[in-house]
Each structure stands twice: as structure tokens, then as C-alpha cells.
Amino acid sequence: MPSNPGEVALEIDSPTESPRASSEFEEVSYPTWSQPRAEEELPLHYMGEDKARRRVKGAQAAPESTVMFDADSPTEYDQGDDGGKDVYAKLRQHQTPVSRMRRTSAPPTSVSEFIQQNLEHLPPAIYTLLSCWTRFHDIGKSPYVVWDEAHFGKFGSHYLKREFYFDVHPPLGKMLVGLAGLLSGYNGNYEFKSGEQYPDDVPFVAMRVMLATFGVAMVPLGWYTAVELGMSRRACHLVALMVLCDVAWLAISRFILLDSMLLFFTFLTVYCLTKFNNQQHEPFSFDWWTWLSFTGLSIGMVCSVKWIGLFVTALVGVYTIEDLWEKFGDLKMPVRTYIRHWVARAGCLIGLPIIVYLISFKLHFLILNHSGPGDAQMSSLFQAHLVGNDFSRSPLEAAYGSRVTLKNMGWGGGLLHSHVQTYPVGSSQQQVTCYHYKDENNDWVFLPRWEEPEYNPNGELQFVKHGDVLRLSHFSTGRNMHSHAIPAPVTKTAYEVSGYGNQTIGDSHDYWMVEVVDDIRRGHRNNFETIHTLTTRLRFKHWKLGCYLRAANAVLPQWGFKQIEVSCEKEDNPRDEHTYWNIESHINDRLPPAEITHIRSPFFRDFWHLNVAMMTSNNALIPDPDKEDILASKPFDWPWLHLGLRMCGWGDNQTKYYLLGTPVIWWSGTASLGISLVVFVVYLLRMQRKYVDFAPGEWDHFLYVGKIALFGWCFHYLPFLIMGRVTYVHHYLPALYFSVLMVAHLIDHFFLSARSLSERTKWAVFAFCVISIVGTFWWFRGVAFGIDGPINDHKGLGWRKSWNIYSL
Amino acid sequence: MERPTGSRRRRGYGGIDAPSNVSTSARSSDSEDLPTEHSQRAGATIIPPSPWNLHNYAIVTVMTIIAFGLRFYKLNHPDQVAFDEVHFGKFASYYITGEYYFDVHPPFAKLLLGLAGWFVGYDGSFEFETIGDSYTAAHVPYVGLRALPAFLGSLTVPLVYMIMLESGYPTLVAAFSTVLILLGELDNGHIGQTRLILLDAQLIFFVTLSLYTYVKFRKVRYLEFTPVWWGWLCATGVALACSLGCKMVGLFTFFTIGTAVLVDLWEVLDVRKEGHTMDYFYKHFIARTVGLIILPAIVYLSFFWVHFALLPKSGTGDAFMSPAFQETLRNNELLMNSQEIRYYDTITIKHKETKVFLHSHPEQYPLRYDDGRVSSQGQQVTGYNHDDVNNHWIVVPTKALPETGRGRIVRHEDIIQLTHVATDTKLLTHDVASPLMPTNTEFTTVSHDEARGERYNDTLFQVQIDDADPGQAWKSKSGHFKLIHMPTRVALWTHPKPLPEWAFKQQEINGNKKVHEKSNIWYVNEVVAVEGGGEDVRNRTGQVATKEPSKMNFFKKFAELQFLMLQHNAGLTAHHPYASSPLNWPFLLSGISFWTDNEKEEQVYLIGNIVGWWTCVMALSIYTGVIAADLLARRRGTYPIPYTVRNRLWNNAGFFFIAWAFHYFPFYLMNRQLFLHHYLPAHVASALAAGAVYDFIFSELNNFPISYPGPKTRARRPTRSDIFKVPAAITLTILTVLMFAMFLFIAPLTYGTPTLTGEAVNRRRLLSSWTLHFAAKKTTMD
């Protein structure tokens, strides 16, 4: 990025010789000890460019523009340290009304007056219209299921059919997809198979349009955020243009995906935060409360769409902590007021988001009241209440010979499972795992010990009781559940559990002692004898080793199909729910079905259970070293746009979409982040040498905008570096927003609001930026609008060799 | 997002608020003796009394003697290879035999070991193959080798004492820190680690030495640019280079000192102090750069220079290095057997990573795979790991050749065909998915007719020699190459996953679209026969049989080795039973079993002195708490800690604290396997910080001033510490007694002798997470 040498060049030189007479940007004079005058305390934000960010000019500014080193007044050393003084009071003076007082002008009497009064909203309105065009233009061009529409469209359908499903993302976004489907008259009966053509009765265009509306709203949000950040008008234009013209944001908004919502709520959160920041001069006013609570609501929304939203929450969190730290130093503030500040933030920024998040789950459970593909993720009691579930018809009391499935009762627990595949480590015997889907391999049979008479299907019915020692035989493979003193594959401190032997071969390591913990319905175990399905909580203790059967969400590697490890825990921890099991489904022809209604499991239990399950599945999404995932990319690939992503098939007759950013925007964004650090260090060094580059308050404001952008970017980017899971280009899209803000901020600082530049230069710079942004966008528009025909006929798109935009 | 000091300073300095309420005691200036050129008494300054007096000398002598005693006691036991002696003993031998080896650690510590070995007359012949191999049976002077770590480990103890004393702490405090190391280091963690042939003793010694020299340097800072100032600056640089030369952990020491230097320079830059000119600043800046970057770099490089100079022969490390590097080693296989390849030579081709031959046999791919995809049903091309005639291929030219001479040599970027000798078919690949990976192309062979006809283009491959200049000849062994298919631009590739039964579980060969991957590299294993089969391959080129090692630029060699070290270090991710996560370390949740003797039921188990380590952890938490409280209080306008005490707490104890933090927290970011002994440098720093905290708790005053006054230093009234109080002494005594008791209790695990009964082992298992051997079995369950 070009810079004006007069302003930023690192001129760390000794200023001791003599005060400079007339540097253009820096006027130095000896202290006059006069109090700052009122006109110097003018609000700095939201002023015309001619006033804002002006470097101090002329001698009037002397008291602020400060003092060079003065050897005769050694006491001044101490003034540098304002650790204990009322820093905040000074700060407050500079933080004067930013978004003006509430407008009190008279209501418009004529159309022209109305236009006059709202002229400032004209540019965003125009941008919104343009945004509508880009987002909606030819949105139905490809009548195929593009990319992840296969997932999210399907999840939307589940809401319409009201069948319970399971996914790693929180429900709000998918409920909105379902709502879009509902509004556009979709009946929910389509499978959304990847790459398939939409049948006539699926109103996919209407659904895409509704979801793209979130994408449309990103543009005005970008504009108003820039305004709230105190950028000059031209910088606001730049922000809005970049948001409008990035083809990655555009492409991702045009399909039935969650990303447009995620981006919208991320933008909204930043907007609310900046809006709130500008109310800080008037704490506890109506506007202040409004924007604080809007920030909280927005956080709740963004986290309910995807957990990525936690990153923007972190930004708000850090902003709040800094703010409270500032206020902590304000000795004039009464303690009560300070506590009120804390309470207000805790309520609005922690309480409200949690409520929003909970509500989204409550709605999720309310809507999905039919049995569906995600049942097995939830606790047995929850499943029993889904319409279409037949648990209540299985026999009530478990007996020898009963064929049962066993559900782990820990948070996120699954069904005890085994399959013919063996452990590649340890004993090499058959794997025993925990599985979250229903399948015949989940069935186990209670059988007596080897030395006891063999189970006789016609003999006397014998019920299983507390303290019984028995065998658990896997129904489909006939293996007995077995444990031995071999460390488990993941949890090395516990013993491995495997399937061993068959109907005739086995040893005493196959014996498990049934320990009843209690019964949800009948209370303590002394109150009853037999074991009931669903409600009785059991533990299985290995008879030989004394260890307890446990499944605690440790994910097995690929050889175990990413299922949950089952191990035998040596330490007896009677309160550990991961060692609790209950019988879920129960088949025994000799017993009558029990027609009972079960107690409902409480909402918070279901909520927490589902969240743990989501977390476990999310952790299982680690890249598979054996499988080549051509779509995945590494975080290092993103900032410089190393890779794009083919969103659909690449045949000559298909409409092709390529997820790729507008290079100018991505590259300048990344560069600006680096430059911002350099600029920050240079300014600090200059300050240490007592150069004054900023009028009072300007530095704070410069820093504030920079911090929002830089921290926002870091929070949205760096976590991916240490995250184990598989990552894709579109994970960078929220982070991109902050780099865009940084570009605008720096261009604004160095060019558009620079005092030393003429208006002509500013126009030139502005025009250059606009032309390069719009030009590149136009060049690459095809990747978002859809490319027809053989891709190799479209020349000039392969700006980097690593992009696989052309077929070989 | 703490507000940067710059802005605050400016505002304050601008005189908006007159400084009325700031008392002198609350000054936050970081320098303890504010120099001012207006001092009238310049020159008549008070020279800080030397911290050294008779009883200090006595104490440090006694401590050192104890340290030596504890480390050298039964140094000959066990007389078997223990833990990583397997590696480092071996590496030391290589310096004596001169065979090249490869290790992830820089060479300095191993050079020292090698030196010790040479000194005691060790001939380098012992193999150090497995833990438990007997030294006495092989007549290895292992005690001499172990003496070096033990010696340096013992010297660390007085060094700690000296750091504390030079930092201005009274004797009692210095003794406190030293005891933590003596019986905390001497305790079992450090003793255990520093008695064996390992690198950590050397590392810890030099890390401690770096801290010591920097403290000394700080103390002479007002005597800037004098010889003594330069001396300590350069000493710091050399000590740093030595730490880095032992292990890459030394980098953390660089960060520690670097942070302190940055703070220091920031002060110099501050125009409010004395109004230093920029020239003055540059002088300081350049001095630091020379002393702490350039000098260490030279020293560090010199270690490698010696390393290469001592290892001229081919050895176990060859295979790690590039062909060019290997050819610099005497008797290297590459050097001896590398031949230029000519057209119509019969060759075998091997995959560099998985060591399989490019192989083909008459069997064909099944028409349909399990997943329903269809193959070309062509002849199978697989990777096979045994020598076999089916691995023979002939290099066929695609251009006109001269009759004889060097024109027949195959060169970089030549386009060739490969003929499979046994089936007389030509290699090809085409746009058919490979058996296991739908994304990659299938390799097969076709008859000559087809290869001449319509399939001609598919049989063309380009030889791309790795890192080659245009026109470079293709050589067997050393010529690592990629074989790129001309029409589709895929690279010949294989991976360890075997094919099903129909291909006899051999490896799949396929065309990889990611051409740039390292795993695409192959080399010619052998030139089996030349055209016509007549000439001897070796003498064809007319070269003499014995070859001299080629030369290679030292910096190139260094760069290659350094890169490989880092790469392999990061790759040490395999599971190890005694690896532990950093969270366990300060609390000693788990140790490492170094050595066991099943017959005598003896064991060496690395574990720290739990009293000492927990004291350190407590001290660190107290420190963090005090600093946080101080920050909060100052924010509210109260100044609870007197200026001089606070100054010492922030600057000196802060230095120790960041030393601890820098040597500890980065491990959280590492993916490689981590062990308890990685914490030992951090533990030394934590013991230093613990001393500072002990001083803060028991003393109201400091020894002050401690720095040597310069020409401009203003005289200040000196103060002396008042720590010689009964509670402080009692605390120290209790700690010493407790630590000593704990040491004696754990000692059998440190020294590996005497044998403990099962019950005794159980008693010593103080935390349930310790995994000791030979524990008495609990009575079996019902």
C-alpha cells in the first residue's frame, strides 16, 4: 500500500536540539500550562472529513500538541504515568456524542424536505438495491442441488416433516431454512441428493431468494458500521463496495446454505457493537440500553446459527473487558454505577444470548416431535416421546434371553455396538463401540454364565436382577462382550472391551455383573426387584477385573469409523454417568408389550445432551489422512486466496460455481492487517520520541477502529490454526469482513482523511480503489453468477496456478 | 486490549492534569537509579557493596559440595543403558568414530559428550542398542561419560545461588532458591536427569548461565560501552548460543533475554530520560544486535562446523540427507554406486518414502471393483518390496540418439518410455480411476503395437530430477526424480495402503495430480544391465573406482541439516507411554521410567521432589496474584507497594517469571511428544521466582542499590534488606528439612538402588498417577 511519506515515514530522530519551527504536521512548543480550550474538545467522530482526523495545526493547539523534552522540569517524568489518575475523565471528554443527539428536527412538511433530511441514507439505499441485483440475479440458473444444499436443504425439510434429525450445527439457521421452505410452499418431501435436479414441486428459487436476503442486508450493514466507526464518507463507500463486490460472499449467499445467515448476524453484531460504543457517553440512556441489548440478541442469533459465532462473541467480550477496565480506573465513578455497568453487561451480553440460544433449541424440540433419523443421539426417554416411536410397546421387564439395546446415559452417549471389524491395536479382537444410529449391530442378548445351564427358550422365564452375573452376547455376530488387562485404544488408562468367542467358546472374562443404580420412576434400587426398560439405570461391572463398562465420548480413529470408544474403567466412580446404561429397545417374544407412558425428560437435560453430542460429532470431523479431500483446505491457504473451491460438478453442460474471493479485496485485506501492525509500531516509536501525530482523542479512535478490525480478524482466523477439524475456504468468510474494515480504515487514515493531501489526490485514490474493486468483481462475476459451457473457454480467470478453476 | 502506554504518557505529559497526588514512592519509572545529569554529586557516588562476603562463600561452597556429592553418588549405577542414553550415548560414540549421524537436536551438547568420551579413552565401539544393555560387559567407560552431565548439573547449583545474590537478594533468599534446586533439582528431577548421558544437564547449565550473565550485564548498564559492559554482553551471547546449541529449547532463552532487551531499549529510546539522541540509541541497538544476535549466530554455526568436520564418514544419518549432501561423506553408498544412466539401460526404480520397487506382472486389473467402478482391465502395475525380475524396466528414448558417447545419457526433463522387461510391454497411465483412489489415475502397460499406435502419447513420461539444473545427467541412487506423465501431467506415485488379494496385497501405484508433493519422488536403485549387456556398468564412464567425496558449501549443509532437524522434531508425534502433557509438569503428576532391572527389581524413575516443585508452583501463583492486585489497586489510585520493592518485584522477579513462562507455555503449542524433563529449565526459573516471592513476603526493604554506578548516576541513599528475621529463617529451615526428607524418601527411585519391596514402592507412589514398576499387587477382587 502506498503511503504518504510525510506522515508515516519512520522519523525517529532526536528532537532535543530545538523545537521544530514549522513542520507541516507537527507544531512543537513549550508547555503553556493552560487548560485546554473548549473548542479543542470538539467531538471528533462523525464530523466532516475536513474537521475530523485533522492533524493539529497552528499554535492554538499547542497545549495539546505538547511539549518536547524539557530538562528543567524533571517532575514531568511522573506525568507520563497516569496510572492512578482519572484517565477516564479525560477520555470521556473526547468521547463526546458520536452519533449526534437524537434528532429533534421537525417532521418534514414536504417531499423535498424529507429527502433533504434523509439524504445520508441515500447511498446505502442505492447500495442495497445494487446488492439485491447481485444477490438475486439469475439465482435459479442452476436447477441442481449445489454443494451443501444437500445438507441444509434436507435439514430444512425435516422441520417441515417435523422429524427429529441430528446435525453438528445449532438449529436457528436450519429453522430459517425450514421457514423459507414453508413460506415458499415447499412440502418437505424432497431428498436433496447432491447434484440432482430439482423436481418441479420444489420451489428452490424462492427458498434461495429468501436466504439471499440475508446476504443483501450485509451491504447496508457494512455501510452503517463504517459510519458508526467514524470513517469518512468515501471510506464508507469503500466498505460498502467491498462487501457488495466480493464474489465469495456473493456466491455463498445465493444458495440454500447457513453462511449467508452466519455472515449477516456477524455483521449485525459488529454493527450493534459500534452503535453501542457511540452511546457510551450517555450510559443507561434509552439508546444505550437498546444497543447493548441488541448486541446481546445478535450474539445469541449468530451463535445459534453456527458455533463460529463464538468468535465474534469473543470480540465483544474483549471490547467489554477493556471498557470495564477503563471504567475501573475512573475514580470519580461511584461504585454503585460501576456495579450497574457490570450487571448491565452480564445481563445483556451473557444472559440474553443464552436465552436466545435456549429458545432456538426449545423451538427445535417443539417442532421436531416425530421420530426421525437423529433419534439415537438423544436419551431414551426423549425418544420415547417422539411420535412414531415404539419404545412404549416393548416388554417392560428384562429377562434372560431378552434381546436389548443398551444406551449410555452420559451426556451425548450412544448405543452399545459391535461389528465384525477388529481392533488393529491391542488384542486384535472384535471392536465394541458406541454408535449413534439404529442398526441391528446394536442388539445384545442377556445370557447366563458358562457354568450355569444353557439358556432354554422354553424353560422357566428368569428375570435379570441387581447383582446378577451374566454374559452379554452380541446378537448378529454371536461374540461375547469381553474385557482383559490390555489398555483401551484411546483411553490408555482403562481396559479394552472387545467381542470374543462365540456360543460355545468363552471364559470368565466374559462375565459382567449387573449393578442397578436406581430407577427414574421407582426410585432407589431397594424399592424394586426387576429391571425395567428405559427407566432403570444400570452399571456393568467386569466380574474378573472389577472395572466398569464406560463410554465417554472418546472418538476412535478411522479404523473404528469415528465411533465412540467403549472401555472398562478401573476406578470405581459411582457418580460417573458415563458408566450408566439403560435398556432402550427390548425384544422378547415371551413377554407381553407394556403399554405405558413414560415421564418426559426435562428440557435442560435434552438441551445439554444434544449440545454434548454436537460437540462430540464436531470433534470427530477431523481430516482423514487416508482419504483425499479435494475440497478441504488449510487455514494458511485462505488469506492469500491460495485455493478456490468447486461448488458443483464441472461438466461442460453444467452451470459451474466456484467459491473464490475477489482477489483485490482478499489480498489488500491481508496486506492491510500486516501494515496495520507496522503502522502501530511506528506510531508507538514516534510517541516514545515525543512526536505528536494526533490531536487529542484521535489516537484513541484510530486505535479503537484498528482493534475492532485486527482482533476481530484474529479471533475469526487464528482458532482455525489449532483446530483439529477439517476446514474449508468458506470458514474464512467472517474473518474477511474484519480485513475489509482494516483496508478501509487504513486507506481512510492515510489518504481519504489525511490533512496533507489535496482533495484532488483523495479523489484520485478513491477512484483508483473503486475502479479496481468493481473491475475485478466484474471480471470474476461469473464464478458467482454461474459459468455456462466449457470452462476452458472462459479465459483469464486463473490468476493463480493453484486455483483448480480450469479442468486439466 | 490494554491501552498502550504511549497514549497515556502523552496525555499525562501534555500537562492536562497537574501531577499533584503522585508521591515519589509511587513512581512507575522502571529504572531503579534514575540517572540525571543534574546530579551535583556525580562521581561521588556510593559504590554498591559487593554481595560477596565470607559466609556467602562458605554457603555456596557447601552447597556445591553437596551438589557434587548427590550427583556423583553411585554414578556407576545402573551399569546399563538407561532411557535416552540409547540415543545420546550412541551419538557421542559417532563423534569418536567419525560416522555421520542425524539427530533432531543441535550438536553442542553431544559434542561435549563426545569430548568427555574421548577424554576418558572411549573408543566409540559400543552400540547403545537397547535400554538395559550392560556397560561393564562391554568395557565402556560410561562413568566418564556420565561425569560430564553430572559435573555441569552440579555447577548449576552455585550458579543459581549467584544469580540470586547478584540480583540483590540477601543470603537467606539465595539459599532458599538454591535449596529448591539443590534438593529440588538435586532432588530427584534434576539429579535423575543430570546423572545420565543426556543433553538436559548441559542445556540447563547454559540456560542458567545465560540468565546469570544477563543479570550481570544489567548491573553494569551505567558503565555503558566499557570493557566490562562489553564483556558481560558477549558472555550472554555466547551462553545463549550454547543453550541453543544443546537443544532447540534454547530458543526460549533467547526470547526471555530478548524481551528483557526490548524493554531495556524501549527505555533508552524514551526521550524524557536525559534526552538521548538517536545516535545514542542506535549505538545501543547495534551493540545488542552484535552481542546477542550476530555473536551467538557465529558461535552456533561454529558448532555445526565442528560437527561436520568431525563426521566425515558415511554412517546411520546418510539416508536423511539429500543426495548432494551424501556425496560429501566418505564411503557413502551413493558416492560409491551412483552411475549415469543411458538409454536402453535396464534399471530398477524405487519409491523414496515407502521403499518399494516399481513392479508389474501379467495379472490384470479386475474389470469391476467392489465399489462398482470399472477398470481398464489392463496389466497390473504395483509397488513390490522385494527384488525380482519383474522390477526391471528399460529406458527407451523418444528422440534420435547418437551411436555412442555421452549423447546417450538420459538427462533432466528428457521424455522417455519405460519397457517392462518380463512381459515386454510399455508403461502407461490414462484417465481411468485407480483401484483405490477415484481421484488418481490408473497405471498399466500395453503392448508395443499399441504403444506405437494410438496409445503412443499415453506412454510418454518426463524425467524431472529433483533440484536439478537443465541438462543434468540422470544418475542411479543419487538422482531423485519425479516421473511426470506428459498428456495428463500426473506424477507416478504410490502409498502404503495395499491392494486386495487380486494384486497379492502389493502396493497401489497411481498417478497423483498433486505433482509438487514430496512423496512423488523415486530413484533408480540399480542399473541392472546396459544395452547389449556387454560392458561393465561401473567402468563404462571410464571413472576410477574409488571416488573422493565431493565438496559442499558449509552454509548449504547447515541450512539443510537445520531444516531437517526442525522437520523431524515436529514429526515426533508417535505415542510414548511416558509422554505427558505440559499441564502435568509443574504439579509432578507423572514421571518417566528411565530404567528397570527385572531381576533385582530395581528402577530409576524420574520424578521431582514434590515439596520443592509444589513450593515453586505456589510461589508462582502468589506472584501472579500480587501482580494482579497491584494492577487493580493502582487502577483505583492506591499504591500499596513501596517503590523500590515494587521495582524489584516487577523487573527482577518479572524477569524470572517470564523466563519460566517462556520455557513452559510454548510447549502447549507443540504437537510432538513431550516429557517431564522438558520442564526442567522452566523449573530452574520457577525456583528463582520462588526466591523473589519469598523475599517479597518476608522483607520490607531491598538491598539497594545493586547496580554499579556510572558517571552520571545520581547518588541515592542505600538500603539493606531486613529479611534476617526469625519467621523467614524458620520457613527456610522447615522447607530444607521437608525437602531433604522427601529426597531421602524418593532417593531409591533416583539412584535405582537399593531394591524396594513392593509395599515400599506402593508407599512411594505419592500420587496415584505415578506409574512405578514392581508395585505390590493389590489383592484380587472377589
Query: 1.10.10.10, 1.10.1060.10, 2.80.10.50, 3.40.50.2300: which CATH number matches B337-537?
Result: 2.80.10.50
Q: Quick one: which H or E segment has residue A344?
A: helix A335-345
Task: Rounding to the nearest 10 degrees, give the CA dihedral for residues B81, B83, B84, B90.
Answer: 20
**A328 CA: distance to closest CA in chain B (Å):** 7
**Which H/E stretch holds residue A524?**
strand A523-524
Q: What is the DSSP letter of B715?
A: P
Name the CA radius of gyration of chain A, rounded.
33
Q: Could you say which of B6, B437, B577 has the minimum Cβ distance to residue A684? A: B6
Distance in Å, alpha carbon of B11 to nearest chain A alpha carbon: 7
List the single residue in A628, A683, A696 with the smallest CB-CB distance to B439: A628
Contact yes or no for B165/B706 (Cβ under 8 A): no
Range(s) within chain B of domains with CATH label 2.80.10.50: 337-537
Per-residue confidence (pLDDT) for residue A741, from 0 to 100: 96
Query: Would you call B17 and A79 a contact, using CB atoms and an 8 Å cutoff?
Result: yes
pLDDT of amino acid B538: 56
Alpha helices, DSSP H, located in B83-170 = 85-97, 108-119, 135-138, 142-166
Look up the ipTM and state it.
0.73
8 Å CB contact of A81 and B9:
yes
User: C-alpha A479: how far from its chain's center?
Assistant: 43
Of B3, B271, B669, the CB nearest to A15: B271
| Cβ <8 Å between B277 and A14 | yes
Yes or no, beta carbons of A688 and B6 under 8 Å apart: yes
Grid cell in block for residue B112: 561435549
pTM: 0.77
> Alpha helix (H) ranges present in B294-436?
295-310, 323-326, 333-337
Mean pLDDT, each 10-residue run in order, chain A (808 residues): 42 41 36 39 40 38 38 39 42 43 64 83 93 92 88 91 92 94 90 87 92 94 94 94 94 92 96 94 92 96 94 95 92 91 95 96 93 86 84 83 89 87 86 88 89 83 88 89 88 86 85 89 83 88 89 84 87 85 87 76 89 85 64 87 86 87 94 95 90 87 94 94 84 95 95 90 94 94 89 86 81
Does the beta carbon of A806 lie under 8 angstroms from any beta carbon of chain B? no
Contact status, residue B474 vs residue B415, Cβ threshold 8 Å:
no
Q: Which chain A residues contact residue B36 at CB under 8 A?
A: 74
Q: With a CB-CB cutoff of 8 Å, which residues 321-380 of chain A face chain B?
A: 321-322, 325-326, 328-329, 331
Amino acid B321: pLDDT: 83
Dihedral of CA B534/B535/B537/B540: which sign?
Answer: negative
| CB-based contact, A557 to chain B, within 8 Å | no
Tell me the nearest-neighbour CA distance from A33 into chain B, angstroms: 6
β-pairing, A523-524 vs A511-519, is antiparallel
Give the number of residues written for chain B. Answer: 782
Low-confidence ranges of chain B (pLDDT < 70): 1-49, 183-194, 335-336, 531-547, 574-575, 775-782
Mutate to test the interface with B, among A56, A64, A78, A88 (most CBs of B within 10 A): A78
Could you tell me the CA-to-CA distances from B274 to A14, A69, A72, A171 in Å, in that order?
11, 9, 11, 63
Residue where the block lists cell 463398562: A549
C-alpha cell of residue B126: 559400543
How confident is the model at residue A649, as a pLDDT? Answer: 82
All structural domains of chain A with their residue ranges: 380-606
Contact yes or no for B712/B42 (Cβ under 8 A): yes
Q: A689 and B269 in contact by Cβ < 8 A?
A: yes
Distance CA B640, CA B627 (A): 11
Half-sphere exposure of A623 (CA within 13 A, CB side): 13
- The beta-carbon neighbor of A78 closest among B27, B37, B271 is B27
Please tell me the class of the A380-606 domain. mainly beta
Please count the other Cβ atoms lying within 10 Å of the Cβ belonging to residue A113. 13
Distance CA B154, CA B71 (A): 7
Helices (H), B278-352: 278-289, 295-310, 323-326, 333-337
Q: Report residue B183 as a C-alpha cell.
A: 534438593
Q: What is the nearest CA distance from B432 to chain A, expressed in angstroms?
A: 14
Beta-bridge partner residues of A587: A403
Minimum distance, in Å, between the CA of residue B655 and any CA atom of chain A: 22
Could you give the CA distance from residue B264 to residue B234 in angstroms, rounded to a whole number? 17
Q: Chain B: nearest CA to A160, how far in angstroms?
A: 34
* Rounded Cα–Cα distance for residues A62 and B544 (Å): 85
